[in-house]
Structure 1
Amino acid sequence: MTPALARRLGAACLAATCLLGSAAAQTTQALRIIVPYPAGGTADILPRVVAEKLRPQFPAGVLIDNRTGAGGNIGAESVFRAEPDGNTLLASPPGPIAINQHLYKKMAFDPSKWEPVTVLATVPNVLVVNPRLPVKTVQEFIAYAKANPGKVTYGSQGNGTTSHLTASLFMQLTGTEMVHVPYKGTAPALVDLVGGQIDVFFDNISSSLPFHQAGKLRILGVADDQRSAALPDVPTFAEQGLPAMNAVTWFAVVAPPATPPAKVAALQKSFAGALTQPEVRQKFAEQGAEPRGWDPARTGQFIRAESAKWARVIRSANVSLD
């Protein structure tokens, strides 16, 4: 071996050692996942289920941090301004990722700058009615609403929430007119729907399913491109003549702007691997959630399409939170 070759080999070995050391240092840091909504809901449950399976890869731990307020914007902003090293992530429904910029005139961060990591899951929204209504299909409900303009009441989780926007999309597609009754969350809306104080609610399947199964509420349609495995006997809106009525609640993971692509790709592989595990899939199924694990490119494309869709709905319905 020549002296020059020996020097080159030595330099290469030193570089490899440094790279390995850097990678090891990264894996010894805790992974912090910010959830911008309260503990206990689907938005909180799904990341916690996945976090349990990620912990072996992060010896320092995987921490779920609930930072709530301003429709998810407070927690999201803290991630947006975090160091772009892949150790702080946002796990959230659409609000602060794809919708809030169309509801608020001023935002403290630019959601278009997120680095998409993956979509953990999608949960179909469903049309739920009080059983006293004389309807059993989507088309029957449309006819009923048109025969009673301005009299049918629909609840939502609050102004600008996915349930509110899904109802707005439905009215735009069907030419119906209903009265909006906003609540502070899903639970009080469901209580009043069961009690007959409101007529209809566009909800995600996870919270409505137990009431449907108990006969206290009736789910008429699934706003997804295929029937839900949790509700195989209920047809989609497309099957009932409304193919454009596609509205799922999704849960994505995004990283701060300028997070290195290699780090994003590694994180996506970790999440996707966790989503293949039977225990995770079972717990997701209990929430009516379909595991996804999409790569960053597909995730980014999906988020942009969703943002554009809801922007159109928001403009047409003249919804604002300012």
Structure 2
Amino acid sequence: MMNYTGLDRPKKPGYYLFWKAMFVAICLLGIGFIYAAADFVDYNWRWEQVPQYFWLDKDLEVRSEAEGDLTKIDKTAAGYTLIIQDGGHEEIVNLPPDANIFLVEGDYVYMGDTIAEYRVSKPGILLEATYVTLKVSMLAIVLGIIVGILAGLMRISENPCLRWLSVTYVELIRGSPLLVQIFLWYFVAGSLINAMLDKVGLSAIPALWYGVFALAIFTGAYVAEIVRAGVQSVHRGQSEAARALGLSGQQAMRKVILPQAFRRILPPLAGQFISLIKDSSLLGVIAVRELTKATREVISSSLMSYELWIACTIMYLVLTFALSVAVQYLERRAVR
């Protein structure tokens, strides 16, 4: 007779079924609690209005902002151009080709009159903001990887200047809040850089790019430590064997050490990049309309705080889960 201890003990047939059912019950209990609490405070759920903020598909009315005679309706391949003349003032209204115009030339138009109507089918504000979040995150991840690998290799360099520069960078970045760094990038560095660009007649750099730089530099500091730990975790004998085969130090690092370290640093890198996606929600403070900022704007006009914050959470979960799945795929490929 075998003796089992701890987790090695065989489970009864209904063991896993029971605990899976328990998991589902706990999830349903949590959802039920949210709805019960909302009902207790007389909150009116309006889930049917949420989809329009992801995909807008509705008829829009175009109203006149001036009063006068409709003097001209010009049709081109790009659409319609309406001109409303009121003495010396002229209002020009541009409409898409599929617009349904309710007036004819010569009609008198009052301010607020419905001029035309057309169908709009385009991404909603939350879907556009999700794209901005994804764009910012991916750019910051790529730049962060480059900065992190360079800083990580400098961290283990025998050159004291490179090593001290890396240590200073890592400690400065990890020792200050990301929000403060975003402010420094936008209000300090951004103001100086844009002022210099204006002096030489160049366009200013948008706030989005300062947000990308802030996230990339912040993430790069953590990636540097992950890379350093991964490289140092590879047994020293691997490097010595590579050198014995005639490889230079750089060749040994590129062909022997880094490939082995890569497999070990993938899980912590995934966690860092998932954190970066969530940290992108801070960019709203510098007027970057990412997912969190867009959600706040929609809530301020629709007053659907419960539905929209839940929808916002789900979108972040989709982004982070997709990244997690991608990294797991890379892990499986790396061990082959």
Q: Which band: TM-score by shorter chain? A: under 0.3
Select the structure that is richer in helix: 2
Report which structure shows greater RCO (CA 8 Å, sep ≥6): 1
TM-score, normalised relative to structure 1: 0.23
Structure whose CA Rg is larger:
2
TM-score, normalised relative to structure 2: 0.22
